Amino acid sequence: MWRGINESVAKVADETVREAMTFLENRAEARDAPGVGNRGVNLTAVNIDSSTPVLPARWRTMRSAPASGAHNMAVDSVLLAAARDAHAVGVWRTYAWSAPTISFGRHEAARAHFSAASIAAAELSAVRRPTGGRALLHGGDVTYSVAMPLDSRTPWTAAYRAVNAVLLAALRALGVDAHLALAAATPSVRPDGALCFAQPARGEIVVDGAKLVGSAVWREHGAYLQHGSILLRDCQAELLGAMRRNNDISDENAHGDVVGSHALEHAATLAGCLPRVPTWSAVASALESALINHVTAHPDGKIDDAPPILDEDVLARETQRFSDATWLWRR
């Protein structure tokens, strides 16, 4: 039964992502940006087995039908809360978006560059994530999330490396020559810095120095949440068209003077790395297979063939929280 649900979700997600990419690509026809090139980031392979001690032994995989930004963030928030139990099962979730949506990082100073009016004019939606990081545009991507218990003595960076190892294994299984960035010479990324895919940070997944996977994390009360975006095609330049202009003063949340000039180089994409762009469902399957291979390689590892149970009342409250303009425009 659960397999049938996953197949149904995959079919809807594939179609929704195709429609989103068409919409965003039509808006970007006049744009011209340089191709992916080496940006001086040091690259390294990763030892997949090094992630073993950090990840829990038991996991569930979950595919979610395309949904609004508020609903998607609410599900991740509910899964994070459930992971606070030290004996909780890790959940690897793959999902899509019902409409092209900008997501802001938890502490990102979004009002410095965007407003409700400028985003509406670009025909996009927006949501603020429970995790950190910077603005990115969802629609032509595969979004994943990982919620799991994490002992307070374990550095969050160890969990980050462990999850990225599974991501990297999945991408290499698809045929992508991806690596982890060792950006020791790259300045730290600030919440009010460049857009998410403009600059890789240490440990992120890159191809020829360009970011392929944008990830963000949050840790609280013995639980860890990581989620991110794997680009099928590069639609991130559409973020520039959604930024406030100096004459955009119609939104009471907008403040500051003139939005400075921005440049956004092309990110790495699966379309650019592979002979044929894979479907959303093909990427979701690769992620799940990489997780299963990793977990079941160890004696205590187990994948539970059942979806996590979400409290509908709690989910509704969390969806309302992420729908609230006060949360969206908190910074």
Q: Quick one: pLDDT band at residue 328, thresholds 50, 70, 90?
A: very high
What global pTM score does this model have?
0.83
> If you average pLDDT over residues 43-51, what whole number do you get?
39
Residues 20-34, buried b or exposed e (16+ Cβ, 10 A)?
bbebbbebbeeeeee
User: Could you tell me whether strands 210-220 and 223-231 are parallel, antiparallel, or unpaired per DSSP bridges?
Assistant: antiparallel
Tens digits of residue pLDDT in 106-138: 999 999 999 999 999 999 999 999 999 888 999
Percentage of residues of the chain with pLDDT beyond 90: 53
Higher-confidence position of 255 and 100: 100
Residue 300: phi and psi, rounded to 5, are -90, 0
Question: Mean of the pLDDT values across residues 32-43?
Answer: 36
Mean pLDDT of 85-114: 93
Q: pLDDT value at position 256?
A: 39
Output the pLDDT for position 146.
97
Q: 9: Cβ–Cβ under 8 A, 6 or more apart, which residues?
A: 63, 64, 65
Query: Which residue in the list 166, 196, 216, 232 is annotated as catalytic?
Result: 196
Question: Bigger pLDDT: 87 or 289?
Answer: 289
* CATH number of the domain residue 105 falls in: 3.30.930.10
Q: Which residues contact 148 (CB under 8 A, 6 or more apart)?
A: 55, 56, 83, 88, 90, 91, 159, 223, 224
What is the DSSP secondary-structure string of 68-102?
A: -HHHHHHHHHHHHHHTTSTTPPEEEEEEEESS-EE
pLDDT class of 264 with cuts at 50, 70, 90: low
Give the bridge partners for 92, in sequence order: 61, 146
d(CA 191, CA 134): 6
pLDDT, the chain, mean: 82
Looking at the structure of the chain, the number of domains it has is 1
Known catalytic membership, residue 273: no
Provide the sign of the torsion angle of the four alpha carbons 181, 187, 189, 194, taken in this order: negative
What is the domain extent for residue 186? 2-328
pLDDT reading at 21 higher than 90: no
Confidence of residue 195 (pLDDT cuts 50, 70, 90): low
37 versus 295: the higher-pLDDT residue is 295
Q: Which two tokens stand for residue 56?
A: 């829990």
> What's the pLDDT score for residue 237?
84
Banded pLDDT at 188 (limits 50, 70, 90)? low
Give the whole-angstrom CA distance, residue 97 versus residue 134.
18
Average pLDDT over residues 148-159: 92
Provide mean pLDDT across the span 150-161.
Answer: 92
pLDDT of residue 15: 82
Residue 250 above 80 pLDDT?
no
DSSP 3-state of 51: helix
State what percent of residues in the chain have pLDDT above 70.
Answer: 78
User: pLDDT digit string (tens) for 200-218?
Assistant: 677 788 888 888 998 999 9
Q: Look at the alpha carbons of 110, 111, 112, 116 in this order and tell me if their dihedral is positive or negative.
A: positive
Sheet containing 125-128, strands listed edge to edge, beginning at the edge strand earlier in sequence: 125-128, 101-104, 136-138
The pLDDT of residue 52 is above 60: no
